[in-house]
Structure 1
């Protein structure tokens, strides 16, 4: 379908560190204006405790960022364009839920809970609910119906119910005030449409199906008895949550008078049903059937779509779920990913920068301003410099190894108790060599995901790379192609998630009848492709076998402290 006149929509992308809004011409996908807002409370490290895997975000960071970026986009675009904005859609990280009252107001926005981390959004990477996830997994085996079958058979501590149960157990005040539990991607549209009753909130099939155990086969969520028999604290929550879900091509409502006045927009602006960032990012990156779309940032989210009729009887074990309509309405959406990708490189950078961060300020040679400028310069340049040096190192069977579970393992087979490892070090193992091992490990982790899809009968026929790492690091992307022994195309847009949200906004607003048509008209195409180097793929294939063997050892040690040395030796030999 061709749209002959200019019509404008806004995509809002909530990431881990910031929110970005992009104002787009729906006729051709042209980015007219963009704005970014970094969460100030998050930047200060408030409400987080990394040592306990606690990562919380204050809803005010989200609200302030929403208003700031939308206003700046509209200001940059000018009043003429602002007057004809037709729709706004939102994507967020997930599972990132929060406790709300009956009105749907997050408890952290109430004075009594304004500084309480348990009343805030529990970020996707928060793993404080490991115990609760393990209990859910054990509990599910007691039922004739397998309520975990559509989420890969393993429930994760990153997800909806585990986090709810943990918060209810951990905080009596929050437990008493909590009426319902909502995802970030569902709350922002509710906020913009002026919702005042959580029962009227339109919940996305994306979040509900992949993280909250919702399935059409169950007629909604699992029954109350499934949850109340796990812990009486969960009794009644299914009735206070939702039964129906919605795809993101549908409207959640229209802009409320309050937000219309704040933003200078019409109350006729359509607000679309929300979804997770990787799902909308896959659409912004022009996903194709059986092509794995990899959104590569702090973590990876890997999306695959296929015709429902071709895969509905195939349940891929150990992934983050398969849900009809969660990516593209009418298609089966399958999700996998890695808990740490860019975060692994950021950890290594932070490790190397420790002396500068802690000793430069004490220098008697440099002024404070010079020391700060030097630190910032080195911080910006260290990963590119390591990449350049690592690229020059000849590939060898005997290079150091790493295991990429620095934030646990998301897929295949979620296990947030696992830890990363670096193996095979010697006195010659300098920083570029260790960095190279870490990059290789993240690529090997990505290959295990592809292998799982292929093994379970859902073939991966191609790779699409998106996100900051994909666009900024040729070294990492070339290694990805070599390890996968498969080409990887890099999408042109730097804002695939926000552009995907804009595509859904154009569909929800009625500019396009289907998101497929919005994707075709507004997509920006690809500007790079990395092809596997035959001289390297064989060596990586051999090292990949060792990576899997070492991973088995690390996993055995993590789960069974008294494992016998002979058992470990046998695994390494295999």
Structure 2
């Protein structure tokens, strides 16, 4: 028997999966690590925690599976995007990593916009947002001169872990695309952007494909984990790129909806010349010479978690959503906007905040719960509509993450998106995508698409109901008006927030 390992380095934990040639997950393990928030808006982690817990997770995976090390042919990685890891000339970590959800860099984003103007979208194809890596680099440059003077190279989170396991320093295109330093279509570091901010190109690591072989495991790693010399390591990809691979989004028109803490609508793309004016993200895919278009709802699953912890803390999610299927579409005139931490697509607005609109005395907990689900899905539909406006025909959407675990929510997605929604049989998200990169890199398949055909199976599909779809179309028009109607109110209210 032969196996590969997928490693998914998340924000709160690292997950490892052991996958066989049929795409079956034989074993999986997960190890958590802490998040540091030393000031409001700051979000940091110690890169050594990632390394330590990845080693623990791999060791446990080998221990619980009992699989001989020589049967594990390959390993690859998925990782949280945008996080800044600065290394000195000796490749030692300079300071704690600044994560994707850190919001301290607003002034640096404005500086990027003022310096580059329209060139930024032409080259990096994305707006300057606080989550990206370049603003973090500039923050260190401006606020921590001692640390900046020591910085010789930057990496992203999964690339640092992979370096510690293999000794190889590199970054794949899909993760590099989220730095704002990559020329997306030329697939090279942008001298124009780097020069504008006095950044040496030597700060940027060498670029590789997600499925490239970057070496074997170091002796001390093999001793610690039980893995052997025969296991090859492949570069891996950004978590969203790996999520797309793990959902089989590998050809034109294929689209994925992923609902976790944030929500993502992602579609495969081969056209280089599309101009979305920064309304959605445009990144390199883990598939060679391909791209993906991505819209983001900042608080998707987080809106539901906030609602439960605030209004039904004693309830499980199942109990919270009990009775939602008995409430009619539109929650009897109640609308929710999931802007509780600001918004990303199509409104990159850190000041906007959420709303319940249309409340009356007849509304009960199930009405509010349904309105939250509908509001999250309406926000995701805004990204779907931007894709459709580009000429894409979206008739089917693969749903993964928390939104794929509730039958009512899956049907709601089908009705609101007006498209067939498909749930996968064994959905493992980015970890499966990383395993698929290792399988393809190991020569198990001639292409990632062939790997997806062998590994992924549909569990159930949901067709849109024409009557509900039309009702949601009418509600969606009202939903879209809420942002403009409340944006100024929220800006004025910002002064009163704690």
Is the TM-score greater than 0.5? yes
Output aligned runs, 1:78-157, within 5 Å. 78-80=66-68, 82-107=69-94, 119-141=95-117, 146-149=119-122, 152-157=125-130
Q: Greater share of helix residues, 1 or 2? A: 1
In the superposition, relative to structure 1, how do residues 435 and 169 fare at CA in structure 2: closer, same or farther (>3 Å)? farther
Identify the match of residue 314 of structure 1 among 265, 274, 293.
Answer: 274
Distance (Å, rounded) in 2 between the aligned partners of 1:316 and 1:396: 30
The residue number in structure 2 matching 1:269 is 231
Identify the match of residue 211 of structure 1 among 160, 179, 198.
Answer: 179
The residue number in structure 1 matching 2:484 is 552
Deviations 1:27-60 (A, max 9, x none): 2112121111122x23xxx4355xx332222223
Identify the match of residue 72 of structure 1 among 53, 60, 77.
Answer: 60
The residue number in structure 2 matching 1:446 is 380
The residue number in structure 1 matching 2:357 is 423
Instruction: Determine if contact 1:137/1:155 at 8 Å carries over to the other structure.
Output: yes
Instruction: Determine if contact 1:305/1:328 at 8 Å carries over to the other structure.
Output: no
In the superposition, relative to structure 1, how do residues 219 and 283 fare at CA in structure 2: closer, same or farther (>3 Å)? closer
Number of aligned residue pairs: give it: 493
Q: CA deviation at 1:323?
A: 4.1
Distance (Å, rounded) in 1 between the aligned partners of 2:451 and 2:266: 19
Q: CA deviation at 1:172?
A: 4.0
Say what the alpha-carbon RMSD is for the aligned residues: 2.5
In the superposition, relative to structure 1, how do residues 219 and 432 fare at CA in structure 2: closer, same or farther (>3 Å)? closer
- For residue 74 of structure 1, give the secondary structure of its aligned residue in structure 2: helix
The residue number in structure 2 matching 1:432 is 366
Output aligned runs, 1:354-365, within 5 Å. none
The residue number in structure 1 matching 2:345 is 411
Instruction: Determine if contact 1:389/1:432 at 8 Å carries over to the other structure.
Output: yes
Q: CA deviation at 1:548?
A: 0.6
Relative to the length of structure 1, the TM-score reads 0.80
Distance (Å, rounded) in 2 between the aligned partners of 1:418 and 1:509: 47
Q: CA deviation at 1:453?
A: 1.1
Identify the match of residue 336 of structure 1 among 295, 311, 327.
Answer: 295
The residue number in structure 2 matching 1:47 is 37
In the superposition, relative to structure 1, how do residues 131 and 353 fare at CA in structure 2: closer, same or farther (>3 Å)? farther
In the superposition, relative to structure 1, how do residues 153 and 19 fare at CA in structure 2: closer, same or farther (>3 Å)? closer
Distance (Å, rounded) in 1 between the aligned partners of 2:135 and 2:410: 34
Q: Greater share of strand residues, 1 or 2? A: 2
Output aligned runs, 1:297-308, within 5 Å. 297-306=260-269, 308=270
Q: CA deviation at 1:125?
A: 1.9
Q: Does 1:240 align with 2:216?
A: no
Identify the match of residue 422 of structure 2 among 480, 485, 489.
Answer: 489
- Runs of 5+ consecutive residues of structure 1 not aligned to the other structure: 1-5, 108-118, 196-200, 355-377, 563-574
- For residue 245 of structure 1, give the secondary structure of its aligned residue in structure 2: strand
In the superposition, relative to structure 1, how do residues 211 and 416 fare at CA in structure 2: closer, same or farther (>3 Å)? farther
Identify the match of residue 16 of structure 1 among 11, 14, 17.
Answer: 11
Q: CA deviation at 1:99?
A: 2.1
- For residue 24 of structure 1, give the secondary structure of its aligned residue in structure 2: strand
- For residue 159 of structure 2, give the secondary structure of its aligned residue in structure 1: helix
The residue number in structure 1 matching 2:310 is 351
Instruction: Determine if contact 1:296/1:466 at 8 Å carries over to the other structure.
Output: yes
Q: CA deviation at 1:514?
A: 2.6
In the superposition, relative to structure 1, how do residues 150 and 419 fare at CA in structure 2: closer, same or farther (>3 Å)? farther
Q: Does 1:291 align with 2:254?
A: yes
| Greater Cα radius of gyration, structure 1 or 2 | 1
The residue number in structure 2 matching 1:541 is 473
- For residue 388 of structure 1, give the secondary structure of its aligned residue in structure 2: coil
The residue number in structure 1 matching 2:28 is 34
The residue number in structure 1 matching 2:241 is 279
Deviations 1:229-276 (A, max 9, x none): 4xxxx423433214x522211112211112112112223321111211
In the superposition, relative to structure 1, how do residues 246 and 261 fare at CA in structure 2: closer, same or farther (>3 Å)? same
The residue number in structure 2 matching 1:509 is 442
Identify the match of residue 462 of structure 2 among 501, 506, 530.
Answer: 530
The residue number in structure 2 matching 1:455 is 389
Instruction: Determine if contact 2:171/2:208 at 8 Å carries over to the other structure.
Output: yes
Instruction: Determine if contact 2:421/2:461 at 8 Å carries over to the other structure.
Output: yes
Deviations 1:164-222 (A, max 9, x none): 22233333443333333221132222121124xxxxx2111001124334126567333
In the superposition, relative to structure 1, how do residues 235 and 539 fare at CA in structure 2: closer, same or farther (>3 Å)? same
Relative to the length of structure 2, the TM-score reads 0.91
Distance (Å, rounded) in 2 between the aligned partners of 1:134 and 1:432: 42
Distance (Å, rounded) in 1 between the aligned partners of 2:123 and 2:318: 40
Distance (Å, rounded) in 2 between the aligned partners of 1:218 and 1:498: 28
Distance (Å, rounded) in 2 between the aligned partners of 1:461 and 1:77: 40
Instruction: Determine if contact 2:395/2:420 at 8 Å carries over to the other structure.
Output: no
Instruction: Determine if contact 2:331/2:371 at 8 Å carries over to the other structure.
Output: no
Distance (Å, rounded) in 2 between the aligned partners of 1:217 and 1:471: 33
Distance (Å, rounded) in 1 between the aligned partners of 2:229 and 2:220: 9
Distance (Å, rounded) in 2 between the aligned partners of 1:461 and 1:68: 43
